[in-house]
Amino acid sequence: MKAARVTVADPSLQPVADVVAALAHPHPPLTTGLHLTLGDVTRAPMAAGVPISGGDECFRITTTPTATVCQARTHQGLFRAALHTSLYGPPKTETVEDGPRYAWRGLMLDTARHFWTVPELRRIIDLAAIHRLNVLHLHLTDNEGWRIQIPGLPRLTAGTPHYSTADYTELQRYAAQRHVVIVPEIDLPGHSAAALRAHPDLAVLPAPTGWNDQLPIPVALDPRDPGTRDFVSHVLTELCRLTDGPYVHFGADEAFGMDHTLYDQAVTLARAVIRAAGKEPLGWQESARAGLDPGDVAQWWVDPEMTDPSTELTALGLTGDLIATITDFFAPAADDLARIVAAGGRVLLSPQSHLYLDRPYAPAIVPEAQRERAAGLGFIYKPRTVRDIAGWDPGAYGLADENVAGVEAALWSETLRGFDDLTTMLLPRLATIARTAWTGRPVPWSEQRRHLAADGRLWEERGLTFLRSTEIDWT
């Protein structure tokens, strides 16, 4: 298919036009022509949250008889306007001004439990851009694997699929052209079994009382040990050096049974190293229990649905002390949101009830032929329909704009066998979340269904497998 012609008012805009044309390439042209020009946009909706990919994303689109004119103050604004118009057609009114409600609109992918190749990640970056997301958060290490080359520590990645520093650099470049920022995550001090396998000399804490082989052993690095501190400093410093974006994620989730003082020490160390290397540190919500400075970001995932998992854990056949350890761990999560706000921190909204895309789809909406792919992770998570996810309201938590970093969907990979499983879990849900993050509120379902049908045509044209939910008329 030949894309619509994109012309530019000055040569500096040619790279924007080229990337838009490349992204639109598999799709039939919906405009006679697009013209890109820098300029002021009168209405400038201020996006709440942390500006991550170059700030101003607002634009104006004006339709004339010969072309659709996109105007914005930045390349990013032009990219948003031109790509959206190429993919979905010009707006129905003569002039439209638009911009995002949330500045950080992300997707987290788990590359540790299942390794996604560089070409697969490129397709995901394209998909993110199409849905106006601007962050790809890569969960790069976990118990099951270490996926990023760290100069000076070759054992971490020896003999396992991983991203070389050259892969990572190239991926950031590819993403940046599409106005997507990579936020890398090294998960510490828990979730560290892969580090320990490569470096058995690292000091780790004993497993909590009652832990047994019903769940993976929760390896936590001991922040008191000088060699282990050196390891953490080295890894995070090198990662910061490789990273173009402003944020580096240090994990800090699920340090089950870890003593509070030691947990504080581990988080304090990670933050200090990342800051010293010139980046902003960011952790999962648990990290807020080690204190936060005003403006610090914490990623909130344990929403009220999950704060007492004892019934589900019992149903799984877990017993006594183990249930107590896990339940004790989740109990303080109920106060984390208030804790982040009280410290003047900023919440990156990833509530598992709606934004975790490894959650199973409600069986009633899954066509028979897709049952297996759509199974997801049944553990603790209650299944939901696409309509439920589309109804999620980021404004429902009573947070002031200064306490919001943005919105991020997350996909863990424990149950995924390949790329078709990945996209089946993402789509269509990711598109509804991305729309909510852009507009700031749930789009009415009748409207959302129409948008999803249009999205479905794009996914088909790009050869992406998606859940053909029975809630939507895909024809």
Q: Which helix (H) or strand (E) holds 87?
A: helix 75-88
Phi, psi angle pair for 156, to nearest 5°: -60, -35
What string marks each residue from 332 to 371 as x (binds ligand TNX by CB under 6 A) or -? ----------------------------------------
Q: Which of 97, 98, 144, 253 binds ligand TNX (CB under 6 A)?
A: 253
Spatial neighbors of 309 by CB under 8 A, at least 6 apart, are 326, 327, 330, 380
Q: Least distance (Å) from ligand TNX to the CB of residue 254? A: 5
CA gap 112, 65 in Å, rounded: 51
Counting contacts by CB under 6 A, is residue 215 touching ligand TNX? Answer: no
Q: Least distance (Å) from ligand TNX to the CB of residue 412? A: 3
Region for 406 from its dihedrals, namely left if φ exceeds 0, alpha if ψ lies in -120 to 50, beta otherwise: left
CA gap 148, 184 in Å, rounded: 9
Counting contacts by CB under 6 A, is residue 303 touching ligand TNX? Answer: no
CA 278 to chain centre: 22
Counting contacts by CB under 6 A, is residue 330 touching ligand TNX? Answer: no
CA gap 30, 4 in Å, rounded: 7
Q: Closer CB to ligand TNX, residue 49 or residue 283?
A: 283
Place of tokens 């507009």: 439
- 254 noted as active-site residue: yes
What string marks each residue from 425 to 454 as x (binds ligand TNX by CB under 6 A) or -? ------------------------------
How many chain residues touch ligand TNX (CB under 6 A)?
A: 7
Q: Least distance (Å) from ligand TNX to the CB of residue 197? A: 17
Cα separations in angstroms, 158 against 10, 164, 187, 194, 195: 48, 11, 19, 11, 12
Q: Which of residues 62-91 bind ligand TNX (CB under 6 A)?
A: none
Counting contacts by CB under 6 A, is residue 254 touching ligand TNX? Answer: yes
Q: Least distance (Å) from ligand TNX to the CB of residue 186? A: 13
Catalytic residue among 120, 170, 254, 305: 254
Q: Which of 118, 334, 377, 453 binds ligand TNX (CB under 6 A)?
A: 377
Counting contacts by CB under 6 A, is residue 284 touching ligand TNX? Answer: yes
Counting contacts by CB under 6 A, is residue 414 touching ligand TNX? Answer: yes
Q: Least distance (Å) from ligand TNX to the CB of residue 15? A: 36
Q: Which two tokens stand for residue 233?
A: 């400093």
Counting contacts by CB under 6 A, is residue 167 touching ligand TNX? Answer: no
Q: Least distance (Å) from ligand TNX to the CB of residue 361? A: 16
Q: Which two tokens stand for residue 200?
A: 């058995």
Counting contacts by CB under 6 A, is residue 305 touching ligand TNX? Answer: no
Beta-sheet strands, E only, within 39-165: 59-63, 68-72, 95-98, 104-110, 135-139, 141-142, 145-146
What DSSP line would sit under 264-331, residue for residue?
Answer: HHHHHHHHHHHHHTT-EEEEEGGGGGG---TT-EEEE---GGGS--HHHHHHTT--HHHHHHHHHHHG
Q: Which of 412, 438, 459, 466 binds ligand TNX (CB under 6 A)?
A: 412
**Active site (catalytic) residues:** 254
Residues that bind ligand TNX (CB under 6 A): 253-254, 284, 301, 377, 412, 414
